[in-house]
Structure 1
Amino acid sequence: MEVQRNSFRYLFADTVKALFKQSARELANAGIQILPEQHFLLHLIASKEETIQSDLAEMIHKDKSAVMRHIDQLEAMGYLIRVNDTTDRRKKHLVITEAGKDIMKQCQEVIDVVTERNLVGITEEELEVFTKVLIKLKQNSEK
């Protein structure tokens, strides 16, 4: 079966891959040794009052072992720590360190610049329509 390079599915998947590659490249160019996926995980952890490491894989629809490798790397870099649950020793809570907060801020500054550059030539109206379509696609995929 031939891939239709202008089909929605191809363009959507290819665009997401290109954006992640661009983010990784720009973070590296800025001297930030963190992957976009790791930045996203830190953002998720920071956005919740309590984050249990086993819940993250389900939240981002990724394999648990892949998520745990990222968590191990983030912990080794000093960006987060694991804290034992007071009632269930099997559970580990993830907590962002000060270094983690600093790296998140640095990453966000780079990502903001990249996003602005990528939005050149796209009107607010177009962006609003695109956002609504993305929301509908996500809702439809969860049915």
Structure 2
Amino acid sequence: MDINQNSFQFLFATTIKALFKQTAKNFEENGLMITPEQNFILKILSQEDSIQSDLADIMKKDKSAVMRHIDQLENLGLVVRVNDSIDRRKKHIVITEDGSEMLKKCEEIINQNTHKNLKNISDEDLAIFKSVLIKLKENAEK
């Protein structure tokens, strides 16, 4: 199989994978035993409590994958499940104080990585890149 390593899809996929691996490695090196995806869940929950299906929709992941992440975060004491006051079948996922602290530590590492990774990239190039990403996402969702 001939793979064009300069193709858009190959470059995009391998860049995303490299960024995730970098983040996961830095989290582990700093004793933060969560994944980048679990960090994203904490980030969402820091803005508002949510139910599992809402998280799955936001993350564009299946509900069972999100449930596994939530289970792990709950086992670490970073989130709790709270019964809905109206519909007892619904469980709200709420970030704990420990979860908020973990999120702060993760954000410090992500900010360091972002600073390192954006080295030698102009503000103009970054703005164009973000604009293209937005258009790609919009086109893919049509």
Q: TM-score range by the shorter chain?
A: over 0.9
Q: Which runs of 5+ in 1 are unaligned?
A: none
**Residue in 2 that maps onto 1:135:** 134
How far apart, in 2, do the equivalents of 1:3 and 1:87 lie? 54
Shift of 1:139: 1.1
Shift of 1:2: 2.3
**Residue in 2 that maps onto 1:88:** 87
How far apart, in 1, do the equivalents of 2:3 and 2:85 lie? 52
Runs ≥4 residues deviating over 4 A: none
Match for 2:79: what amino acid?
L
Match for 1:138: what amino acid?
K
How far apart, in 2, do the equivalents of 1:32 and 1:130 lie? 30
Shift of 1:63: 2.0
What is the percentage of aligned positions where both structures have the same residue? 55
**Residue in 2 that maps onto 1:71:** 70
Give the TM-score, by structure 1 length. Answer: 0.95
Shift of 1:41: 0.8
Q: Which runs of 5+ in 2 are unaligned?
A: none
Between the two proteins, the alignment pairs up a number of residues equal to 142
**Residue in 2 that maps onto 1:57:** 56
How far apart, in 2, do the equivalents of 1:60 and 1:3 lie? 29
